[in-house]
Structures are given as C-alpha cells and as structure tokens.
Amino acid sequence: MSDKKSLVAYFSRAGQNYVSGSIVDLPMGNSRLAAEAIADEVGADLFEIETVESYPADYTACTEVAAAEKSAGARSELAGYVDTDPYDVICYPNWWGNCPMAVLAFLERHDLSGKAVRPLCTNEGSGMGSSERDIRRAAPEAVVGEGLAVTGGSVASSLGAIRRWASE
C-alpha cells in the first residue's frame, strides 16, 4: 500500500446561493460541506481553492462574472497552491455543472499525471454538465473517475451517498 494520501481540493462559495428555487444566504458553501464529508470518509487532506479577487457577494452578479469568465475562457488568479506530489487521489467538488475557471486554473497549474481525479459537482439542476470533460481537458494525464452530481440544496441530506461514493 502506498504511503501517499488523498487530497480533496474544492472550490465553494458561502453567502448568497441559489437553493431550491430561491436565493438563500449560506454560512458554508455546499461544495465545502461535501468536501469535508469526503475528507472525513477517506481520511484525506483538504485544500480550498481560493481566488485572489473575490466573486461578488450578490448571487446574480456572481453568476454574471462567472458566465463572462467562462465565455472568455479566462482563468482566475489563485490565492495559493498545494504540492500535489504526496497525493494519490485528488477529488474536486466543483461549481454549477461545469468547472469554474478557478478549478480549471488549479488543474492546469498542477502536474496530475497518473493521479486519480474524482469530480463531485454541487448544482441546482445542471447535473455533472461538462465537469468531467472540462477536467479531462485541463488535466489530460490524470485518470478521471466517475463523478457524482449532488443538488446543492440537498448536500446535507446526501452526506451518506457522498461518503459511499468517496469510499468506492
């Protein structure tokens, strides 16, 4: 057995979020909650992917910025990085059914050759969207496993399913 550990790198947004048809203020982002459950289940280390420039607090303004970034293929400047060498498996809970630019910037910045990447996508109806394809493009030498899509508003009630998926 390898001495390497698992890493859960996640991008999440607390504050105003769209949940079950309404804008609500979340004290903790849905992807963070899922990431913590995964890390607990598999004994992984956590790394929060953070951008240098914060997204707008207003949900609608945030979606407009994210849509413009996606349209332009922009990459967010990240506040920090992590040494991925000690890790065998890296999981990426992500945002909105497709990888946000911050996650793509993280993937492109690290050499993930031969490492397993398992995406978990919190969403409010878009499912996995293009997440797995986005990850394969950004980390072409990684081994991208089957992802899991979880409705953001039901992350707390889906922790059992998230833990089962993580332990597979």
pLDDT digits (tens, 9 = 90+) for 86-115: 999 888 777 766 889 999 999 999 999 999
Looking at residue 1, what is its pLDDT?
A: 39
Per-residue model confidence as pLDDT tens digits over 33-51:
999 999 999 999 999 999 9
Residue of 16, 15, 10 lying closest to 39 (CA atoms): 10
Measured in Å, how far apart are the chain's first and last C-alpha atoms?
Answer: 16
Looking at residue 3, what is its pLDDT?
A: 64
Structure confidence at residue 61 as a pLDDT band (50, 70, 90): very high
- What are the domain boundaries of the chain? 5-167
Angstrom distance (rounded) from CA 111 to CA 102: 16
**Domain 5-167 classification at class level:** alpha beta
Per-residue model confidence as pLDDT tens digits over 13-38:
999 998 888 999 999 999 999 999 99
pTM of the predicted model, to two decimals? 0.91
Place of tokens 């492109």: 108
* Rg from Cα positions in the chain: 15
